[in-house]
Structures are given as structure tokens and as C-alpha cells.
């Protein structure tokens, strides 16, 4: 486990879109309504970190109290996830599971432009079991408000050992 | 017997052998597809000593991430050597393979990564998809004929179909028996992907799903809980 060191008094929101392009989400997050009136004022966030994947670099608004930074890709975003107090993620399974495994409050934002949208299945399941908040870019603001008042269910650990044991048995290795 | 008669007999015998072989192959293929054994806990003789020669298909993006998590608890001494199939244009997956293998220090030299053509790029047109699928089939034929794995692990998407098709054919032809294990993505809660359906009904020996709802819908699948 890497060491989580917060600069004293910093409170970070981490936004991730994985290996995709999700400009609608980035635009909504950087909207003055979200920054100033929703995130900034009431919740005391000091930093906003945007992982924008294949997306277009957005114009960074000048905010009085939040430091905004953005990058396209990183080898490993888990350290950024661990330092965050809130994670806003696209509905990709990898990002969701990584965020859940560091046990951070997670808002999953679904991209309606994606064909077939099989991401929706997982997001809805996680949402219905109370592990994450789920929304669309348009409803992000109201979801952030809801997030303050409702609690999330802890997400159970995954079990890759079950897979390994299954394969061993299948291929003839005796226990 | 005259020389003429002997010649005719030779060709007749050869033809008979070929017909017999082809018939066996057809019956074998039908048996594999329609009467696949889904219940045995073990598909190979017990008390195995030799390690399992493994082929792992890295599907790109989230699929690669899931595969890395699936392999995280695997005993690499039992599953060696390992050949990773990575799409030609997929640098990220190649890197993830390097990371995964270097975290298993003792077995670091028993793996290889091989590039394979993608069956289909995003937004590719229908006609060029057929062409690239055929190229993938040829790629798979070359790779599988020379490597001949005991076990094939895949979790979608389309990249894994050509290798599994070829593996099934090689098995039907009595050339090499590979066990194909497919793990459906964690994203699939109530519906099976197209690749998942192909695997479950035709190509795979075992199809694993990660949600009980999906397992209830397709009872022939295997459910082991959430793996990734």
C-alpha cells in the first residue's frame, strides 16, 4: 500500500475518464455553477485534479479557492485516488473498481454517447446496492449535493484466489 | 496383382483414410460444440506434475485491467510458460503485461508477448471488418499451430474470438487439445456480451460470470463470486 500523505488542510476532488474521451463530464465539472456554488463554497475543497484521457484540454477557469490541474494519462492513478476525498469517474469498470477498492466516495457519471452503453449495467447495479452514486453529466450538480447527506455501503473485496483455485482444479493439479 | 491393380488399391486406401479422418473430425467438432462436458471439476488427469502451457489474450482497455486482476493470485510456476496475445496497436496492454510479469520475480523468464491483428477497430466498416477478421484468423493459425497451449484464458472482446476458433479447430482435427476458459466482464450483470455468447454456446470449455443474476439466466455458466 502506498503512503497517503495529504498536504495539511488539502481536500481533493479527483475526476477520471480512464482511456476514453468524456468532454461533457469535464465541462460540467468546470462549470462555474459546480465549482463555485456546489463544490467550492460549502464543502471546502482545495484541489481539483482532472484526468482527461483522450479528451480535449479544457480552458481552466480561474478559481479563487480551488487549485485546478489536469493531465491526459498516468501509468498509475491509484495514488491520485488515494489522496482524494471524492472521486468522480466515468462508468468504466476499471476506474469504478479501482475507486471502490480504495474505499473513497464515488460518483459514477454515465456517458450517453457510448453505443449500447453496457457500462450502464454495472453502474446501475453498484448504485442500486448503494455502493456508488450514479448520474449523467447534466445531473452531476444535484448528485454532488445529495452526496453530502447520504451514506454509501461498503463494497466487498474481490476474490481472485477463487479463480486461481478453480483453474488449478480444472487442469488437474491436486490440492 | 498387377502394378495397375496395386496402384488403384493404394489410392483407394488413401481415400478411405482421408474419408475416415474427415468423418472423425466432423463428429468430434459436433461433439465439442453440441455435447460439451460442463460438469466435471477437472478436465485433465489428476495429480498433474507438468506445468500448464498457457495462452492469455489481452483484450485491451478495461479488459486488460480485468485480466491482470484475474491473474493476480495465479501460481505462475503451475502455469508456465505464458504467451500473451496483445493487439498490434495496443501499447498499454503490453506495458501492463510487463508490469504483471515483473511482479513475479522467480518466473520472469517464462513469458512472451506476441502481437496479433485486431479483429475489428472501433467504428470499422462492415467489409473491412470481414477482412481484418480473416487476417486475425491467419495470425491465430500461425501462432496457435506453433505454440499449442494446454490452456487459453480470455475475457473478451472480439480479439479473443479468432484464437479460440483456431484452437477449437486444432482440437477437432486431433492436433492439439486446448482448454478454453472465458471470464465475462464484471460490467455484465444481466446480459452476456456477444463474445460471451459465442464462448458459452460454441467455443469455450468453461464460461465464468461474476454476478449471480447472470448465472441464473445462463445456468451453464460458472459462478465463483466477484473475481476482479
Q: Residue A2: what pLDDT?
A: 36
Q: Any chain B CB within 8 A of the CB of A175?
A: no
What integer is the mean pLDDT of B144-154? 97
What integer is the mean pLDDT of A67-71? 91
Q: Any chain A CB within 8 A of the CB of B26?
A: no
Q: Are B171 and B182 in contact (CB under 8 A)?
A: no
Give per-residue pLDDT as tens, B106-122.
665 689 999 988 776 66
Helices marked H in chain A: 23-30, 32, 41-43, 78-83, 93-101, 119-128, 140-149, 160-170
B141 burial via Cβ count (<10 Å: 0-12, 13-18, 19+): middle
Q: Cα angle at A54 between B123 and A23, to 5 degrees?
A: 95
Q: Are A43 and A11 in contact (CB under 8 A)?
A: yes
Q: Which residues in chain A touch residue B228, judged by CB atoms under 8 angstroms apart?
A: 93, 97, 158, 160
Q: Residue A101: what pLDDT?
A: 86
Confidence of residue A117 (pLDDT cuts 50, 70, 90): low
Residue B169 in 3-state DSSP? helix
CA–CA dist B125, B130 (Å, integer): 9
User: Is B188 close to A121, i.e. CB distance below 8 A?
Assistant: yes
Residues in chain B: 228
Cβ neighbours, 10 Å, residue B167: 23
Q: Residue A39: what pLDDT?
A: 67
CA–CA dist B40, A172 (Å, integer): 11
- Please state, in angstroms and as integers, the Cα–Cα distance from residue B145 to each residue in A88, B3, B119, B171, B173, following that order: 46, 39, 19, 11, 12
Residue B29 in 3-state DSSP? helix
CA–CA dist A77, A165 (Å, integer): 30
Give per-residue pLDDT as tens, B41-85.
899 999 999 999 999 999 877 788 899 999 999 999 999 999 999
Enter the C-alpha cell of residue A9: 488542510
- Please state, in angstroms and as integers, the Cα–Cα distance from residue B202 to each residue in B145, B187, B197, following that order: 21, 22, 8
CA–CA dist B58, B205 (Å, integer): 19
With a CB cutoff of 8 Å and minimum separation 6, the contacts of A3 are: none
Task: Give the position of cell 481472485.
Answer: A160
Residue in chain A lying closest to B91 (CA): A75
What integer is the mean pLDDT of A99-125? 83
Q: Any chain B CB within 8 A of the CB of A167?
A: yes
Q: Residue A6: what pLDDT?
A: 45
Query: Which of A93, A119, A170 lies at the smallest CB-CB distance from B43?
Result: A170
Phi and psi (nearest 5°) for B171?
Answer: -75, -40
- Identify the DSSP state of B76: T
Give per-residue pLDDT as tens, B91-107.
888 998 998 998 886 66
Q: Are A53 and A94 in contact (CB under 8 A)?
A: no
Q: Residue A41: what pLDDT?
A: 54
**B179, β-bridge pairs:** B151
Enter the C-alpha cell of residue A30: 468546470
Gap from A151 CA to chain B (nearest CA, Å): 23
Q: Residue A92: what pLDDT?
A: 85
Q: Residue B125: what pLDDT?
A: 81
In this predicted structure, the answer to whether residue A35 has a pLDDT above a threshold of 80 is no
Query: Which of B46, B61, B190 lies at the smallest CB-CB distance from A174?
Result: B46
Q: Any chain A CB within 8 A of the CB of B193?
A: yes
CA–CA dist A34, A32 (Å, integer): 5
CA–CA dist B131, B119 (Å, integer): 9
Enter the C-alpha cell of residue B194: 456477444
Q: Are A143 and A106 in contact (CB under 8 A)?
A: no
Amino acid at each position: 500500500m502506498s503512503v497517503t500523505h495529504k498536504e495539511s488542510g488539502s481536500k481533493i476532488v479527483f475526476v477520471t475518464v480512464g482511456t476514453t474521451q468524456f468532454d461533457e463530464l469535464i465541462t460540467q465539472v468546470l462549470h462555474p455553477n459546480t465549482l463555485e456554488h456546489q463544490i467550492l463554497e460549502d464543502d471546502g475543497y482545495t484541489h481539483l485534479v482532472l484526468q482527461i484521457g483522450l479528451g480535449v484540454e479544457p480552458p481552466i477557469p480561474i478559481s479563487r479557492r480551488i487549485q485546478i490541474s489536469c493531465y491526459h494519462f498516468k501509468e498509475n492513478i491509484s495514488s491520485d485516488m488515494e489522496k482524494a476525498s471524492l472521486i468522480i469517474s466515468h462508468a468504466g469498470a476499471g476506474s469504478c473498481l479501482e475507486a471502490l477498492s480504495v474505499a473513497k466516495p464515488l460518483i459514477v457519471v454515465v456517458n450517453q454517447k457510448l453505443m449500447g452503453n453496457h457500462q450502464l449495467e454495472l453502474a446501475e447495479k453498484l448504485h442500486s446496492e448503494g455502493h456508488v452514486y450514479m448520474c449523467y453529466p447534466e445531473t452531476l450538480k444535484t448528485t454532488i449535493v445529495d452526496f453530502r447527506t447520504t451514506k454509501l455501503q461498503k463494497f466487498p473485496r474481490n476474490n481472485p484466489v477463487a479463480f486461481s483455485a478453480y483453474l488449478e482444479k480444472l487442469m488437474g493439479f491436486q490440492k | 496383382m498387377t502394378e495397375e491393380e496395386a496402384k488403384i488399391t493404394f489410392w483407394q486406401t488413401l481415400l478411405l483414410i482421408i474419408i475416415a479422418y474427415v468423418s472423425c473430425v466432423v463428429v468430434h467438432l459436433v461433439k465439442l460444440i453440441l455435447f460439451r462436458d460442463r460438469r466435471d471439476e477437472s478436465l485433465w488427469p489428476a495429480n498433474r506434475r507438468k506445468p500448464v502451457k498457457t495462452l492469455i489474450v489481452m483484450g485491451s482497455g478495461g479488459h486488460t485491467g480485468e485480466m491482470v486482476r484475474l491473474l493476480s493470485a495465479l501460481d505462475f510456476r503451475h502455469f508456465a510458460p505464458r504467451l500473451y496475445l496483445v493487439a498490434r496497436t495496443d501499447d498499454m496492454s503490453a506495458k501492463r503485461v510487463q508490469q504483471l510479469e515483473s511482479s513475479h520475480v522467480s518466473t520472469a523468464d517464462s513469458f512472451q508477448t506476441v502481437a496479433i491483428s485486431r479483429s475489428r477497430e472501433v467504428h470499422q466498416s462492415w467489409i473491412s471488418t470481414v477482412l481484418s477478421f480473416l487476417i486475425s484468423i491467419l495470425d491465430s493459425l500461425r501462432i496457435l499451430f506453433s505454440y499449442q497451449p494446454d490452456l487459453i484464458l480470455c475475457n473478451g472482446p472480439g480479439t479473443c474470438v479468432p484464437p479460440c476458433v483456431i484452437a477449437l479447430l486444432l482440437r477437432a482435427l486431433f492436433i492439439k487439445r486446448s482448454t478454453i476458459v472465458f471470464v465475462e466482464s464484471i460490467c455484465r450483470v444481466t446480459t452476456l456480451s456477444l463474445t460471451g455468447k459465442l464462448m458459452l454456446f460454441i467455443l469455450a470449455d468453461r464460461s465464468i460470470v461474476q454476478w449471480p443474476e447472470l448465472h441464473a439466466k445462463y445456468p451453464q455458466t460458472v459462478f465463483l463470486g466477484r473475481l476482479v
